[in-house]
Amino acid sequence: MRRLNRKKTLNLMKELDAFPKVPESYIETTASGGTVSLIAFTTMALLTVMEFMVYRDTWMKYEYEVDKDFTSKLRINIDITVAMKCQYIGADVLDLAETMVSSADGLVYEPVIFELSPLQREWQRMLQIIQNRLQEEHSLQDIIFKSAFKSGSTALPPREDGSIQPPDACRIHGQLYVNKVAGNFHITVGKAIPHPRGHAHLAALVSHESYNFSHRIDHLSFGELIIGIINPLDGTEKIASDHNQMFQYFITVVPTKLQTYKISAETHQFSVTERERVINHAAGSHGVSGIFMKYDISSLMVTVTEEHMPFWQFLVRLCGIVGGIFSTTGILHGIGRFIVGIICCRFKLGSYKTTPGTDQDGTLNNYIPLLANDAMH
Ligand SMILES: *[C@@H]1O[C@H](CO)[C@@H](O)[C@H](O)[C@H]1NC(C)=O
C-alpha cells in the first residue's frame, strides 16, 4: 500500500517536471552550436565578473530633511596661525544674541614660527591640490567620506628642523561650543573684555605698525572631529599686504549625518565665500582689521549613507544574466540556423533543377554494394 502511494507521488512529480529529458541518441551537436555556446559562456563569465565588481562596490546616498535639533550646542574646531605675537591678539565668538561665548578659553594660544618648514610646506601644498580637485569634482567628496579614518591624520605635521628662530606668530587651536544660531568668530587685536553691551577688544597698547593679519588655516570644522575629512578652508593661506587688513569668511554650515561602513558620525559640511579689504578710514573703508568668520546654520540636514547591493539582489541579477544569455543565444542560434537553412535549400533546390547528373550519382552509388557482393562470391 505504502509502496503504491510512493509510486503515485513519484509519477506526480514526474508529470511536474519542467525539464523533460531527451534521450542522448536524439541530441545532435553541431559546430555552429558549439561556437555559439562558447560565446555565450564567455559573455556569461565576463558579465558575472562585472556584476561581482558592482556588488563589491558601495555608493553614497544623499537624503535631505529639516533639522529639528535646535537645543544642542555646535562645536567649532579651530587651528589657525596668525602672523602676530600671541599677547597682541584675541579670539572669541559672538552669536546672534550678542553674548560673548565664555568657552572661548577652550582655545590654546601657542607661539610659533609663521614660516613653514619644508616638510610642512609639502603637506600644505598637497592639501591645496586636493582642495582644487574637490572644487572641480564633487564625486571626490564621496571618496573622502568613505576613506575617512583610513587615511590617518590630516593635521599639520610638527616641524622637523629644530629651528632656533624666535616665534613670530601665534597658533590658536582648540574647540569652542556655541549655540546653534548664526554667529561670528573673530580674531582681532587685543584681548576681549566683557562689556555690558557686548564686548570690546583692548587694542590701545598695540602699535598699528605691528598689525599683520596674514594667516594660515590648518583646520576649521564644525561638529564632531573626524580625522581624514578635508574641510573647505583647510590649507588656506592669506598674506596681508597692508597692516590694516580685514579678512572675512562667510560660511554656511550644513548639518550632516554620515553613515559609512566604518564610521557613523554627526558632522557638518560647509560652504564658504571670502572677501578681503584694506581698512582705510580716510578712503571710506571702515571696519576693524582682523579675521572674521561669519557662520550661519542651514535649516536643512543632509544624511549621507553608504549603500551596497544586497546579496539577494546580486543573486537575482546573476540568475538574470545566466538565464537571459542562455535563452537569448538559443533563440539567435535558432534564427541563424533557420535563415542559413532557407538560403542553403534554395541554393540546393536551384542546383537540383539545373544539373540532372545527381540521378546518375544515385545509381552509381547503388552499384557499389552489388559489385562488392559479386566480389564476395
Ligand atoms: C605679514 O607677515 C607675512 C609673513 O611673515 C609677510 O609675508 C607679510 O609681508 C607681512 N605683511 C605686512 C603688511 O607686514
pLDDT tens track of the chain, all 377 residues?
667 788 888 888 888 887 777 777 776 777 878 888 898 899 999 999 999 999 988 888 889 989 887 778 888 999 999 998 888 888 888 877 666 665 566 888 888 888 888 888 888 888 888 888 877 776 667 766 766 655 555 677 777 777 677 888 999 998 888 888 888 888 888 776 666 666 667 666 677 788 889 999 988 998 888 777 788 888 889 998 888 899 999 999 988 888 888 778 888 888 889 998 888 888 877 888 899 999 998 888 889 888 888 999 999 999 999 999 989 988 988 898 889 888 887 766 555 544 444 444 444 444 444 444 444 44
Q: Cell triple for residue 104?
A: 572661548
- 64 φ, ψ (degrees, to nearest 5): -120, 140
Partners of residue 254 on adjacent β-strands: 269
C-beta separation of 209 from 243 below 8 A: yes
Angle subtended by helix axes 139-147 and 118-136, to nearest 10: 130
**What whole-number distance in Å separates Cα of residue 55 and Cα of residue 74?**
38
* Residue from 239, 243, 245, 246 to probe ligand 1 pocket by mutation (most atoms less than 8 Å from CB): 239
Q: What is the CA radius of gyration of the chain?
A: 40
CA of 121: how far to CAs of 158, 166, 170, 268, in Å?
A: 11, 19, 18, 27
Asked if residue 256 lies in contact with residue 301, where contact means CB atoms within 8 angstroms, the answer is yes
- Cα 322 to ligand 1 centroid, rounded to whole Å: 69
Identify the residue whose C-alpha is closest to ligand 1 atom 13.
242
CA-to-CA distance for 219 and 181, rounded, in angstroms?
21
Q: Whole-prediction pTM value?
A: 0.69
What is the whole-number distance in angstroms between the Cα of residue 215 and the centre of ligand 1?
9
Atom of ligand 1 nearest to the CA of 169: 5
Please report where in the chains the cell 560673548 appears, as a residue.
100
Residue nearest to atom 9 of ligand 1 (CA): 241
C-alpha of residue 242 to centroid of ligand 1, in Å: 8
Ligand 1 atom closest to the Cα of residue 212 is 1
Q: How far is the CA of 139 from the centre of ligand 1 (A)?
A: 37
How many Å lie between the centroid of ligand 1 and the Cα of residue 239? 6
Q: Which residue CA neighbors atom 7 of ligand 1 most closely?
A: 239
DSSP symbols for 69-129: --SSPEEEEEEEEESS-GGGEEEEEEETT--B-GGGGGEEEEEE-SSPPHHHHHHHHHHHH
Q: Which of 116, 212, 242, 246 to mutate to test the pocket of ligand 1 (most atoms within 8 A of CB)?
A: 212
CA distance 221 to 305: 20
Return the best residue to mutate from 207, 208, 214 for the ligand 1 pocket (most ligand atoms within 8 A of CB). 214
Å from CA of 214 to ligand 1 middle: 6
How far is it, in rounded angstroms, from Cα 25 to Cα 13?
25
Minimal CA–CA distance to 234: which of 112, 123, 89? Answer: 123
Ligand 1 lining (C-beta closer than 6 Å): 83, 114, 212, 214, 239-243
Number of helices (H), then strands (E), belonging to the chain: the values are: 6, 14
Distance 241 CA to ligand 1 centre (A): 7
d(CA 347, ligand 1 centre) in Å:
93
* Residues 234 and 127: beta-carbon distance below 8 Å: yes
220: Cβ contacts below 8 Å, ≥ 6 apart:
76, 77, 78, 79, 80, 231, 233, 234, 293
Residue 10 to residues 4, 20, 22, 369, Cα–Cα distance (Å): 10, 15, 19, 51
